[in-house]
Structure 1
Amino acid sequence: MATLQAATTSNGVTVTDAQAVRELCESYYLKMLEWEVDDNDRLSIWGYDAFEVYGRRENGLPDYEAGQRTHEFLRALATHVKEGDELDIQTAGFTKCRFPVLASRYVVRHGDVLRADLQTLEPVEDQTV
């Protein structure tokens, strides 16, 4: 069985309400990724894992049964991104056979979330679960 090794990084984006963004990030489970809203109200996300967001149960553990909530999280985040700025989140991963098996990119702007794989940048559709 091949083990996936992935890394995620982002640029920093200025947010309009730093406390609301902190609460948003704390209410979701971002796997093994780190996030920070610094003193200049800039959010960054990084770490050695794929960018996948899940709900967080009351006990702090991830709610895998409810499925991924990545798009839901990003749409909520988009309401707090400063006009004219954008958060660019990129993930790349591979297995021990060294072939890239994972590549994704999310661009979050005020009121807008775009997703790309290795081909195109497309709008994220609003999906109800």
Structure 2
Amino acid sequence: LTVRNMVKNRPLARAISDAGWRQFRTMLEYKADWHGRDLVVVDRWYPSSKLCSTCGASAQRMPLDVRTWTCRCGTIHDRDVNAARNILAEGLSVTACGAGVRPQRADTRTRQSASKQENPRATKGVAAL
């Protein structure tokens, strides 16, 4: 979340400022480490609200007052539920593949696609065929 931009919304500025966003993330990291889990942080520019969780099509513009929208494939989305589904899918892909679902840039270190790089923890305990 871009807190700096959210604070510009005058009616919500105080409530947003009072929330301890950095402390919240620190606690999430601490709890995940404590329980042996991985905390996956999704890219802040990932278009979770505008991306159709059914077909993957992306909406061009979506102002904040649009709470429900219909995709070209005919699926009707609640903005927040759709964003949650997309963030879950992105997090699972990062856990399984070790990188985001977006194509990697040509100047990457390994020059391999994300699907060819497996996270060792994802296959730990799985017998090799």
Place the TM-score, normalised by the shorter chain, in its bin: under 0.3
* Greater per-residue strand proportion: 1
TM-score (normalised: structure 1):
0.24
* Greater per-residue helix proportion: 2
Query: Greater CA radius of gyration, 1 or 2?
Result: 2
TM-score (normalised: structure 2):
0.24
